[in-house]
Amino acid sequence: MDTQADGVGHASQDDFELPGVPDAFARLWTPHRLAYIKGGQDQIKGTEDCPFCAAPGRSDEESLIVYRGEFVFAILNLFPYNPGHLLVCPYRHIPDYTDLTVQETAEFAAVSQTAMRVLREVSNPGGFNLGMNQGAEGGAGIAAHLHQHVVPRWGGDANFLPIIAQTKAVTQTLGDARTQIAAAWPTDGSSH
Write down the pLDDT at residue 100.
97
Q: What is the CATH number of the domain that holds 125?
A: 3.30.428.10
Q: Would you say residue 116 lies in a domain? A: yes
Considering the entire predicted model, what is its pTM? 0.72
The Cα-based distances of 50 to 10, 37, 77, 84 in angstroms read 55, 20, 14, 22
**CA gap 132, 139 in Å, rounded:** 9
Do 171 and 153 meet the contact criterion of CB atoms below 8 Å apart?
no
Q: Would you say residue 15 lies in a domain? A: no
Q: Would you say residue 159 lies in a domain? A: yes
Q: Which of 93, 147, 149, 192 is catalytic?
A: 147
**CA gap 99, 119 in Å, rounded:** 28
Grouping H, G, I as helix, E, B as strand and the rest as coil, residue 162 is helix
Write down the pLDDT at residue 35.
53
Q: Would you say residue 108 lies in a domain? A: yes
Q: Tell me whether residue 151 is exposed, middle or buried, using C-beta atoms within 10 angstroms of its C-beta: 0 to 12, 13 to 18, 19 or more.
A: buried
Q: Would you say residue 69 lies in a domain? A: yes
Residue 159, φ and ψ in degrees, nearest 5 = -150, -175
Which of these, 48, 80, 67, lies nearest to 145 by C-alpha position?
48
Structure-derived torsion over alpha carbons of residues 50, 135, 64, 58, reported in degrees to the nearest 10: -20
Do 67 and 185 meet the contact criterion of CB atoms below 8 Å apart?
yes
Block mean pLDDT (10 aa), the chain, length 192:
48 53 56 54 75 95 96 93 93 96 98 97 94 88 93 79 59 85 83 51
Write down the pLDDT at residue 37.
52
Q: Would you say residue 24 lies in a domain? A: no
Containing structural domain, residue 84: 47-184
**Predicted confidence (pLDDT) per residue in 94-115, tens digit:** 999 999 999 999 999 999 999 9
Number of structural domains (the chain) is 1
Name 73's Cβ contacts closer than 8 Å, sequence gap at least 6: 55, 56, 65, 67, 88, 89, 91, 111
Q: Is 85 a catalytic residue?
A: no
Write down the pLDDT at residue 72.
98
Name 170's Cβ contacts closer than 8 Å, sequence gap at least 6: 80, 82, 83
**Predicted confidence (pLDDT) per residue in 126-140, tens digit:** 999 999 999 888 888
